[in-house]
Amino acid sequence: MQLQIVTLFPDMVRTVADYGVVGRAVDRGIVSLQSTNPRDFAADVHRTVDDRPYGGGPGMVMKYKPVAAALKAARDEVPAGSPVVCLSPQGAVFNQATAQRFAALPGMVFLAGRYEGIDERLIEAEVDEELSLGDFVLSGGEIAAMAVIDAVVRLLPGVLGDEASAQQDSFMEGLLDHPHYTRPEEIAGRRVPEVLLSGDHARIAKWRYQQALGRSFLRRPDLVAKLDLNDEQQKLLDDFLAE
């Protein structure tokens, strides 16, 4: 998968390829990651990429021309059929279903805005999809682009080990994770739940599912509302809540 990021801060987005799962995917040649800077396409001596907003108001707006030129250059580097995705507070909220849809593509171009935003005409003309990470204020689209890239790249075949990939389509889907513990068995007066030391794998699996269900109900009732619990699952949840 070939990824291009159009950004005024290429050094910032490059760090996504320096660590962990995405870094390994790049090293293995499963994904390529490059950035294109609109400033390199600004025509004037000052290399201007922003200007004052028509209609007045605070802040600056990214200019059409340098962004369009950078986008064109970025598009030329990715396969045909690679969409242009703009990260912006006005976008639909990114989720795992969107990550899965993107993971099937041959490439993508991410457009990260700065300042108050990008001239709307550029978005109308060149952007296929606008995405947000949710209702909080970032300083620009770069961190959002990096988050989307991380979520997509880990879904690509060969990026995660077999065990981790199998976990992705387990029955726990749609729920928060169960709690995790490692050695020692007791620390700061707190013990690992007895069931996890029992060696009874069926009991452990049931307990973990119950924990996932119970925690999801308490912390993210919206997730549990989407599920159609059978009688056994409802009983596990009721028992969790009764404790």
Which residues does the annotation mark as catalytic?
A: 89, 116, 154, 169
First to last CA, the chain: 48
- Output 7 or 216, the one with its CB closest to ligand 9D3: 7
Query: Are 141 and 84 within 8 A, CB to CB?
Result: no
Residue 51's DSSP bridge partners are: 61
Residue 3, beta-bridge partner list:
33, 108
- Per the CB < 8 A criterion, the answer to whether 121 and 68 are in contact is no
Chain positions 122 to 151 lying near ligand 9D3, rule: CB under 6 A, are 132-134, 136-138, 140-141, 144
CB of 171 to ligand 9D3, least distance (A): 31
Compute the distance between CA of residue 45 and CA of residue 239 in angstroms, rounded to an integer.
Answer: 70
Minimum gap (Å) between residue 112 Cβ and ligand 9D3? 7
Dist. CA 243–CA 232, nearest whole Å: 17
Residue 82 or residue 132: which is nearer to ligand 9D3 going by CB?
A: 132
Provide, rounded to whole angstroms, the least separation between the CB of residue 57 and ligand 9D3. 9
Nearer to ligand 9D3, 111 or 175 (CB): 111
Give yes or no for residue 53 binding ligand 9D3 (CB under 6 A): no
* Separation CA 95–CA 204 (nearest Å): 29
Of residues 69-98, which lie at the interface with ligand 9D3 (CB under 6 A)?
A: 87-89
Q: In angstroms, give the least distance from the CB of 123 to ligand 9D3.
A: 12
Which residues are bridge partners to 35 per DSSP?
A: 5
The residues of the shown chain that bind ligand 9D3, judged by CB under 6 A, are 87-89, 113, 116-117, 132-134, 136-138, 140-141, 144
